[in-house]
Structure 1
């Protein structure tokens, strides 16, 4: 069983009632399809028979045949309704549960995983791949089951009517099985390539659309369009290959089944002439043999879709089985508010397959102290702060919070104690109020108080709907300074004892920096702060200044 099938199994089992009902309905549909030629056969053999026109047909028999035709139609319609409803409902539930499960798991995966995995590819897995799983049940499986039941039913009926002619009609079956197997294998390989191309395409488009300002500033619209066009052409090429395979398969199956139909028709006429088969039975034989290509072709086509869907299921399984998770240790600490003491003991860290980002770093901060980290880009400043926040665990050494190893603390507790203000505050689609209260359950009064403390209240009041003004993605329409002040307000609302400020005033003009500094001063007051900055003004507020270079402390300065 493939990884994708293993992942799907528990979700399928939860919908067993709907799927069982759909299976019963599919069986009725197959029986109705099998029954369709029989009224004509009965008319030929028992109503018309050898009579010559004009003659008076048996009215009772005709009414019975008419009732049979109506019963077949009613059974087919009712079964189609209920089977479609149950399969569609089961598919929607399975897709919903898978989507929630994969998104929840993505939230648990480490920051390292998200930094090395293209966002467009993850979005494709959460949306398109999961949607395909729902369509697998609503469209593919029901059609496959009906085709299989129809093929088996036709074979059984033909064997009962005339075993010799039935076996003759099955002469081409082994060849069809071989062709179907080869077809499925080729489709599976192309389906996997197709999904890889789609993931690459989504990643490239997401990257460019997220940085449209840079694209336009460098006049790179044509370059980005070409990148997407190239990936799209690759995806299209694989799609055309699949379409060509499908057309070749359909044509081949049609010709082979036509040969079987011709053979059955010719031999069947000879058997009718010898009195070994009735005309009505021959009609059933020819009808079934002709129709046999339809369920065979349908089954192979849907099996190809199933194969492609399982390739998508494998992609979902890759995420759900990913174990790059920072786990809480058993009985992890989850106490009250931290004092704010931070200590690093001989801490070293390296990213996967890269040179060390930190080497043997030791520092100590008492509660309420401020530490400024300076140095060139790539010196290890953000890595050190990320270790304090436990976005990563050190390769060696220890990070201590209030004298306790951070790995012995519950991550939920650490998130309550440590807040991060980034260089460019991330805002989400929603109101100003919702963005300030992000991750916290706070009353409106507390939101306003936090905004006032962050020097954000005045500009919020000037917005069209004040705190209820809806912001676009990334806070479209706000200046950098305004976004930073909202980020400071968000952090003030949480009231953490430890603050990490990652270049909070970079790229701001003097006026914006002055306004942000007012909010930062209130934010840092009485809290332990780690400042990552190139700003001499901000660094001068620190009790200690450490300069890093290639992951090592090269200079340490103490104020006061």
Structure 2
């Protein structure tokens, strides 16, 4: 089961920020544009407050006769008992009879318009830079994940569902991109807006600023409490998504098997169970985190009421102008709005960091042991492979191969046979360094392969596996996968040698026929022939054939066997086979049981010995005769 909550939320967030800072120049550009745009947006309400004062003062000017002075008007109001109005008049630049100064008002409004237009342009530039920073960061993260997958040992994929790996490399990385795209610039702008707005509020009225700040601790407590509860749910959401993807990938890959055995309903039930788990975790995460915004809006409204009431009293007392109060109310809204935005972005940020933690967990997986700096390599490669006292196990508590010795001379064909689970395929994996052995050593022409670079080592091997693999592309491209610069003549020659050319030319597009996903538009036998043609074209020094003809018919098998003999000529070959008829001509036959070599020799000597090989051979060729005899009428 996945952890209930993030193991290192802060650490994962810091690692993401470090990656963003690799685009340092653009990040500073984002910050610079944000600071300037926010400053302009913050100044706007103060300037608008001045416009309100001009209109209000003009209105008061019209209420008094021309020729009076401000002092005379104030004294007249106080004598009439209108002390509050007198205090209000004393706080403005009164010019009785003058009316509204539309010239000054026009300049103020023009200035506000210019401020807001420039702020919008700078925010647009900030958005462009933010998108560039985030997408470059995510592209780099994808590159790192791709490179990491190529450095991971096969043991990682043995214990991890392919769907889970795909989910981390696609869904989680996409979620990181979306989360940071939506939060990065907005979060920065919100923080700058809070700081700038607070400064302007303090300039206008420290008392009202104190009233506005009284709601901050409540907002902080609410946000922290909701975050603490929603963070584990986001981890569950993406872990459940990974398990759902793993199930989908597994069922779709084995769709035919599911139908053959009539397990559609069971597959559907399993899908429903995992889908319900994703729904439950997602709903709970979004519901809990979604509580933040309405609660913060409620706190904001309380703040608005307090500021409006106390501000109105300050205007009545003449301590503040009505324009300042209007500006302060707007600032109080600007002050709480970014706080509300930050609180509402917490769920996006949590979701993104939860995905980042899963991606970083993949990047932190132990890698294959790095190759040596000056790794030795035989030149030329003759193909002498020696297993010296080799021991290996996939799991420490389950030994598989113990103290195995085997010699394959250059140009020799070594057949490896034995019951299922004997360790036959494991030998080919070891010689290719897909796994590192725990004891002994394997040498190629006298050089320990554990000291060789894996790339050059594997370039000298041609491998045909029982499980065929074709990528989406033309037949020509699939055959040429083993030799990047192969000519058309070489590709066709390899196809002819593997008896592929005939069936390819019967296709409407010939060698330009596009192989669909996993080669579903060609038969299993044809797919295997294509992989054999690929091995022909690679022209390797050493061949590994793991049940290379298991999916072809008997007639084609006999043809391919002849081609295989030509391909094996002058090359060291390891042939893993269950059908013993295919390896009777092998130079050396190794019989394995439970990870040990129990018999060695050629076909005739092993049959004459009457041991394990003879029993296996008899089971394949004598059983049908016995069954026929048993089933014959008496």
TM-score (norm 2): 0.84
Q: Which moved more, 1:478-487 or 1:427-436?
A: 478-487
Query: Which of 13, 23, 35 is the matching residue for 2:31?
Result: 23
Q: Which moved more, 1:437-446 or 1:34-43?
A: 34-43
Instruction: State the distance in 1 between where 2:493 and 2:45 align.
Output: 79
Query: What SS does structure 2 have at the residue aligned with 1:37?
Result: helix
Aligned to 1:415: 458
Query: Which of 165, 168, 180 is the matching residue for 1:125?
Result: 168
Instruction: State the distance in 1 between where 2:560 and 2:525 align.
Output: 6
Aligned to 1:342: 385
Shift of 1:145: 0.8
Decide whether aligned partners of structure 1 residues 251 and 10 sit closer, same or farther in structure 2, where only a CA change above 3 A counts.
closer
Superposition pairs of residues 349-364 of structure 1, within 5 angstroms: 349-364=392-407
Contact in 1 for aligned 2:525/2:551 (Cα 8 Å):
no
Structure 2 gap segments, 5+ residues each: 1-7, 64-96, 605-634
Contact in 2 for aligned 1:113/1:324 (Cα 8 Å):
no
Q: CA RMSD in A?
A: 2.0
Instruction: State the distance in 1 between where 2:15 and 2:446 align.
Output: 42
Superposition pairs of residues 208-247 of structure 1, within 5 angstroms: 208-247=251-290
Decide whether aligned partners of structure 1 residues 6 and 43 sit closer, same or farther in structure 2, where only a CA change above 3 A counts.
closer
Query: Which of 344, 352, 359 is the matching residue for 1:301?
Result: 344
Contact in 1 for aligned 2:48/2:109 (Cα 8 Å):
no
Are 1:102 and 2:145 counterparts?
A: yes
Contact in 1 for aligned 2:293/2:341 (Cα 8 Å):
no
Deviations 1:21-47 (A, max 9, x none): 222222233234323433442232123
Query: What SS does structure 2 have at the residue aligned with 1:356?
Result: coil
Aligned to 1:263: 306
Query: What SS does structure 1 have at the residue aligned with 2:552?
Result: coil
Contact in 2 for aligned 1:141/1:302 (Cα 8 Å):
no
Contact in 2 for aligned 1:481/1:513 (Cα 8 Å):
no
Decide whether aligned partners of structure 1 residues 481 and 522 sit closer, same or farther in structure 2, where only a CA change above 3 A counts.
farther
Contact in 1 for aligned 2:194/2:339 (Cα 8 Å):
yes
Shift of 1:380: 0.7
Instruction: State the distance in 2 between where 1:515 and 1:186 align.
Output: 67
Contact in 1 for aligned 2:441/2:448 (Cα 8 Å):
yes
Deviations 1:427-459 (A, max 9, x none): 110011111111422222221121122121121
Superposition pairs of residues 89-238 of structure 1, within 5 angstroms: 89-238=132-281
Deviations 1:183-221 (A, max 9, x none): 223232221111111111111111111111112212222
Instruction: State the distance in 2 between where 1:439 and 1:3 align.
Output: 43
Query: What SS does structure 2 have at the residue aligned with 1:438?
Result: helix
Query: What SS does structure 1 have at the residue aligned with 2:351?
Result: helix
Query: Which of 39, 60, 65 is the matching residue for 2:108?
Result: 65
Are 1:12 and 2:28 counterparts?
A: no
Q: Which moved more, 1:387-396 or 1:108-117?
A: 108-117
Aligned to 2:587: 543
Structure number with greater Rg is 2
Contact in 2 for aligned 1:132/1:312 (Cα 8 Å):
yes
Q: Which moved more, 1:374-383 or 1:439-448?
A: 439-448
Shift of 1:426: 0.7
Shift of 1:501: 0.9
Shift of 1:389: 1.3
Decide whether aligned partners of structure 1 residues 424 and 242 sit closer, same or farther in structure 2, where only a CA change above 3 A counts.
closer
Query: Which of 466, 473, 476 is the matching residue for 2:520?
Result: 476
Aligned to 1:317: 360
Structure 1 gap segments, 5+ residues each: none
Contact in 2 for aligned 1:109/1:326 (Cα 8 Å):
no
Decide whether aligned partners of structure 1 residues 209 and 22 sit closer, same or farther in structure 2, where only a CA change above 3 A counts.
same
Number of residue pairs matched by the alignment: 560
Shift of 1:322: 1.8
